[in-house]
Chain A
Amino acid sequence: MSVPPTLALRAVSKSFGMTAALADMTLELFPGEVHAIVGENGAGKSTMIKIMTGIYQPSSGVLEIDGAAVVLAGTKAARLRGVAAIYQEPMVFPDLDVTENIFISSTDAGLFMDRRAMRKRAQALIARVGMTLDVDREARGLTLAEQQAVEIARALSQDVQVLIMDEPTASLSAHEAAELRRIAKALAASGVSVVYISHRLEEVFEIADRVTVIRDGRHISTRPVAEVTPQGLIADMVGREVGNYFTKMPSVAQDEVVLSVRRLARTGVFEGITFDLHRGEVLCMAGLIGARRTDVALALFGVHPATGGEVRYKGQAVHVTSPAQAIGMGIAYVSEDRRKLGLAMPLSIRSNISLATLAQYLSPLGLIDRAAERETAMAYRKRLAIRAPDVEMAVGVLSGGNQQTVMLAKWLALKPELLIVDEPTRGIDVGAKAEVHDLIRAFVKDGGTALVISSDLPEVLALGDRIVVMREGRQMGIVASADATQEGIMAVATGQSAAA
């Protein structure tokens, strides 16, 4: 191709402290192409988008637009250069109507907003993205698909050259997703470079011209779609050697069924979840963003109660409607989101570890037995190898891996019978991952039962006795991990094959 790329990354790296999110990344986008980017969760896709849209600055390397090196100081600068992004969760203003959502940040238009002219242009733009939408409606009531259409129209209103779509179809219905792909295709046909990030490989094969695979922050391959097969892509995506740092341990599962789930559903979120979980077993849930695995966990833990199906816990039919009830039954849920749902960051390690078991430390007057609390915290610090000089330290200052273990300690202190762990090793280094795995194994060996949600396939294979694969709110199948391969699971999770 003789024309210069609309946008290019040249050996771009980005690191946060000690961790490298992106290393030596190279990418070229040409006018009129749909360029798909695929990779596992955490491969570095979102960091790359943030660099292209001016939210992050590269630690090293160069960003080029139309052949010239540029520095994008922020999203506004990126927009002025014709780079815009839309996300899985659209960024609209719920209190403004559609027209205003499109034009609110226009820089070329004047001080006054000519409502009539704006409405006309808005209608034209909405029509161009193939939607029928009342442009006077408040954005609050719009569906996700409509909100995305508004965002695309906003980008188009400013003469977009590069449109980045980040998992745009993850939360859409099949019909809406097909519409969106049509729009992406049409935009590319009109000369825009479309970057399309998706976990759904069938989409990639439907609309992309070229596809780039990234893994662990590195560029793996860029090829025309016509030259690759789904199997080839999956191999590139999962690529890494299994077994180097995860050792497969023999199952210690017993016969007793601790948790039995039948056709569990929450209206509009997930349905048909059916599995038995035995004492001593580790059951993993695999799937991609939008598979709704966390929603299943939240239903079992009572945060967002299920609306259909049955749950039997230790032989009793139960309907869990609050975390307090779940905790009382001996169910613990370790959230994937340490910051938002897991830890009280400014409080000490001691206070966080005792949080779910506070009642055990209270005297009849309601005073906390701090000595006992401290003793427990110290015991867990030792057992879980939490690297902190003192349990009085605020958890906020610990490393991600240590925060993760504090969170695990909080729930292990409850001595639960069923431990639900959501993405136990996300964002922590390899050594810490192995420690977390050892903890979960030790837990089931002592008679506990674990349900582990993970997007890390080597982890799923190493840790799980059996694996439930989910896709878009549905259970696609259950396999024994001994019979499963990364490629096989990924094929089911991405919709390339029907059952694992």
Chain B
Amino acid sequence: MGFFHRLSPQGLRLLALIGVIVLLLGFFSSQIEGYMNARLFSRISGSVAIMALIATAQTLVILTRNIDLSIGSVVGFVAFAAGNMVSGAPDMNPVLLVLYCMAVGAVFGAVNGLIVAYARVPSIIVTLATMAIFRSLLVEYSDGKSITTSTLPGWLTEFPNLPLFTLFGLEFRAAFVASLVVVILVHLALTRLRPMRQVFAVGSNPEAAEMAGIDARRVVFGAFVLSGALAGLAGLLFLARFGNITVVAGLGFELKSVASAVVGGVNIFGGSGSVIGALLGAVLVDVIDTSLVRWAIVSEFWREAVLGALILLSVTTDTLFTRRLIAFRARRRAAREVRP
């Protein structure tokens, strides 16, 4: 009991998410023969690798009370641009390629951030527009061509499936591990670095942030830039995993990333949430996605319907739970209060 009292709502949320994921895995393994195996892990970890990065990028922006609908277009553009570059120079240094992708993504993020933070245009309008603008830049840039796996160097296309190490019989592949490392780095930065903590402060109480002498505009701008860089990284993984990139690459990621973040307990009104939550949200979404395909009783076409219901359920529970918790703590306080 003491443990639960000490735990913040955020910590409880993460525990609950892990619990739900474990329950789901248990449920599906009772339903599907041979469900729990190493292949399942590889399959889920493979697709989570990309979505976790995108959800992390989205989370950074949501924490500041904003939203980024252009993220799918950034992923698509960077995937294409990286493919184009590496096809021309198959021997290029992978580190340079990574930096290139992050830089391109950061530029897109900076465009969003400038207009949102300094021109004070609501982020939903800005990114709704830049979603279309970035996509059309991709169309212009690609000039009707698409990237195909055959033009990419082997080291890149093999990277996602490259086994790095095995733990408890589960094969950890490069893309997943890389993505995990990035998410954990962002998590550490968000919890340890002062400028990153200011992201929470600005989202939590913008007025108080100004009063406390925090430059809220710079914080919002920074969050968009970093978010863009992470989306760029996701674009590179997207290229490596799928190889074939057309002008519609990354379409729909904007709303999927918001969904992962929200399921992961990130408050859509900013200030609270964690990228670990977003990662777990992405895992949860993917477990459902992957498992329903193999579940004989319902058709795989139930995936999205179940997902929609899941989001509503998790947000409703979260809201009601948080309200109860606040009311409970207020009651306890009132009981403690001394009024001489």
Q: Mark A90-104, 1 if CB is under 8 A from B, else 0.
A: 011111110010011
CB distance from A119 to the nearest CB of B (A): 13
A399 contacts the other chain (CB 8 A): no
From B197, B213, B271, contact of A76 by CB (8 A): B213
Q: Count residues of chain B with CB under 8 A from any CB of chain A.
A: 34
Cβ contact within 8 Å between B215 and A113 = no
Docked Cα-Cα span, A79 to B201, in Å, equals 17
A140 to B329, CA, bound (A): 10
- Residue ID in chain B nearest A105 by CB atoms: B212
* Interface: A74 (CB within 8 A): yes
User: A74, A91, A105: which contacts B205 (Cβ < 8 A)?
Assistant: A91
Known: A104-B214, A140-B326. A113 touches B333 (CB 8 A): no
Contacting B at CB under 8 A, from A268-287, are: 268
Tell whether B338 is near chain A: CB-to-CB under 8 Å. yes
Is B211 touching A104 in the complex (CB atoms < 8 A)?
no
Q: A76-B213, A105-B214, A174-B340 are in contact. Are A112 and B194 (CB under 8 A)?
A: yes
**B198: chain A residues within 8 A (beta carbon):** 104-105
Please indicate the chain B residues that have their CB under 8 angstroms from the CB of A77 in the complex: 213
What are the residues of chain A within 8 A of B195 when measuring CB–CB? 111
Q: Which residues of B contact A115 (CB under 8 A)?
A: 192
* Residue among A80, A91, A154 with the highest chain B CB neighbour number at 10 A: A91
B337, A91: Cβ atoms under 8 Å?
A: no
Q: Give the residues in chain A near B215, CB-CB below 8 Å.
A: 76
Most chain A Cβ neighbours within 10 Å, of B192, B208, B333: B208
Indicate if the CB atoms of A95 and B271 lie closer than 8 Å: yes
The answer to whether A94 touches B204 (Cβ under 8 A) is yes
Q: B158 near A: Cβ within 8 Å?
A: no
Check if A175 sits within 8 Å of B338, measured CB to CB: yes
B334 at the interface (CB under 8 A from A): yes
Question: In chain A, residues 112-146, which have Cβ atoms closer than 8 Å to a Cβ of chain B?
Answer: 112-113, 115, 136, 138, 140-141, 143
Check A93 against B271 for contact (C-beta < 8 Å): yes
Query: How far does the alpha carbon of A206 sit from the alpha carbon of B267 in the complex, in Å?
Result: 45
Least Cβ distance of B319 to chain A in Å? 15
Does A222 sit at the interface, judged by CB under 8 A?
Answer: no
Give A residues with C-beta under 8 Å from B.
74-80, 85, 91-97, 100, 103-107, 109-113, 115, 136, 138, 140-141, 143, 154, 173-175, 268
The yes or no answer to B140 lying at the interface (CB within 8 A) is no
Q: Closest residue of chain A to B273, judged by CB?
A: A95
CB atoms of A93 and B200 under 8 A apart: yes
Q: How far is the CA of A85 from the CA of B8 in the complex (A)?
A: 29
A137 (CB) vs chain B CBs: closest residue? B8
Q: Is the CB of A95 within 8 A of B207?
A: no
Q: A111-B194, A138-B8 in contact; A79/B213 too (CB < 8 A)?
A: yes
Alpha-carbon distance between A154 and B209 when the two chains are bound, in angstroms: 13
B159 to chain A, nearest CB (A): 32
A139 to chain B, nearest CB (A): 9
Which of A74, A80, A109 is the one whose CB lies under 8 Å from B194?
A109
CA distance A168 to B211 in the complex (A): 16
Cβ contact within 8 Å between A143 and B333: yes
A113 x B200 contact (CB < 8 A): no
Q: List 22 A-B contacts (CB under 8 A).
A: A76-B213, A77-B213, A80-B213, A85-B211, A91-B212, A93-B200, A93-B204, A95-B200, A95-B203, A95-B271, A96-B201, A103-B194, A104-B212, A105-B212, A107-B213, A115-B192, A138-B8, A143-B333, A143-B337, A173-B337, A173-B339, A175-B339
Given contacts A95-B203, A111-B194, contact A175 B340 (CB under 8 A): yes
**Given the interface contacts A75-B211, A76-B213, does A104 sit within 8 Å of B201 by beta carbon?**
yes
Chain B residues, Cβ within 8 Å of A78: 213
Q: In the assembly, what is the distance between CA of A143 and CA of B200, in Å?
A: 21
B267 CB to nearest chain A CB (Å): 8
CB of B193 closer than 8 Å to a CB of A? yes
Q: In the docked arrangement, what's the CA distance between A78 and B6, Å?
A: 36
Residues 322-340 of chain B: 1 if any A CB is under 8 Å from the residue's CB, otherwise 0?
A: 0000100100011001111
Is the C-beta of B304 less than 8 angstroms from some C-beta in chain A? no
Q: Which residues of B contact A95 (CB under 8 A)?
A: 200, 203-204, 267, 271-272
Question: Does B300 reach chain A (CB closer than 8 Å)?
Answer: no
A94 to B99: give the CA distance in the assembly, Å: 36
CA distance A76 to B271 in the complex (A): 21
* B204–A96 touching, CB < 8 Å: yes
Contacting pair A75 B212 (CB below 8 A): yes
Most chain A CB within a 10 A radius of its CB, from B200, B213, B326, B333: B213
- Known A91-B211, A92-B205; judge A141-B329 contact (CB<8 A): yes
- Given A93-B205, A173-B338, are A113 and B212 also a contact pair (CB < 8 Å)? no
Q: Are B213 and A96 in contact (CB under 8 A)?
A: no
Known: A91-B211, A138-B8. A112 touches B204 (CB 8 A): no
Q: If A93-B208, A96-B201, A175-B340 touch, does A105 touch B192 (CB 8 Å cutoff)?
A: no
For the complex formed, measure the closest distance between the CB of B107 and the CB atoms of chain A, giving whole angstroms.
24
Contact A268 B334, beta carbon cutoff 8 Å: yes
CB distance from B90 to the nearest CB of A (A): 38
Residue pair A113, B213 in contact (C-beta under 8 Å): no
**Max chain B CB contacts within 10 Å: which of A96, A107, A174?**
A96
Closest to A86 in B: B211
In chain B between 180 and 222, which residues have their CB closer than 8 angstroms to a CB of chain A? 192-195, 197-198, 200-201, 203-205, 207-215
| CB closest chain-B residue, reference A91 | B208
Residues of A within 8 A of B211 (CB): 75, 85, 91
Q: Contacts of B337 on A, CB cut-off 8 Å?
A: 143, 173
User: Are B194 and A104 interface neighbours, CB within 8 A?
Assistant: yes
Residues of A within 8 A of B8 (CB): 97, 138
Which residues of B are found within 8 Å of A113, using beta-carbon distances? 192-194, 197
The answer for the CA separation of A147 and B339 in the assembled complex, in Å, is: 18
